[in-house]
Amino acid sequence: MSYPPVRYHGETGEHSGVFRPGDVPPDLRMGEKGTRVHYLGTGGTTNGAFGLYRWEMGPGPSGPSPHFHRTMTESFYVLDGEIRLFDGKAWATGRPGDFLFVPEGGVHAFRNESGEPASMLILFTPGAPREAYFEELADLATSGRQLTAEEWTDLYLRHDQYMV
């Protein structure tokens, strides 16, 4: 294992850090009492390096069915509560401090089935534009609009989401 190719070629460094206070309201809500998503670092703000999101789920059952991505890895770090994590073989109950890494092509899923709020960090590498996908899902949850099978297939293909 070696360091990746140089991405910064300056000599003195830059003052370019971006601070985000922890009390900033969520960037996205999925339904009235559903998941709140904080865009901590998007592919756009990290120059494509990663996407990092704080995912705060309400007490109701929520989370995607098993799927995989072709272009990015996905990692989960449980902050609070209990979150069911699927590694492609088995479901495990993730508790604060538990971590799951899923490489490209790895089948995975997550669910909050505890009846209590739960939160985690989700990390995508490299930084894909996941916000558009999350925002489309939030719009569907808010509007109640139902997609046809063909519309779901199109939505998933546009966002590197392959359901299994």
pLDDT in tens, 147-158: 999 999 999 999
Domain contains 20: no
pLDDT in tens, 37-56: 999 999 999 999 999 999 99
Whole-angstrom distance, CA of residue 119 vs CA of residue 98: 12
Residue type, 36: R
Whole-angstrom distance, CA of residue 148 vs CA of residue 146: 7
Instruction: Give the pLDDT band (50/70/90) at residue 113.
Output: very high
Domain contains 102: yes
Angle in degrees, CA 156, 158, 161, rounded to 5: 35
Our count of domains for the chain comes to 1
DSSP E strand stretches across 31-117: 35-41, 51-57, 67-68, 73-80, 83-86, 91-94, 99-102, 109-111
pLDDT in tens, 53-98: 999 999 999 999 999 999 999 999 999 999 999 999 999 999 999 9
Whole-angstrom distance, CA of residue 84 vs CA of residue 15: 40
pLDDT at 32: 76
Domain contains 121: yes
Mean pLDDT of the chain: 96
Domain contains 88: yes
Domain contains 9: no
Q: Which domain holds residue 39?
A: 28-163
Q: Is pTM, for the whole model, over 0.75?
A: yes
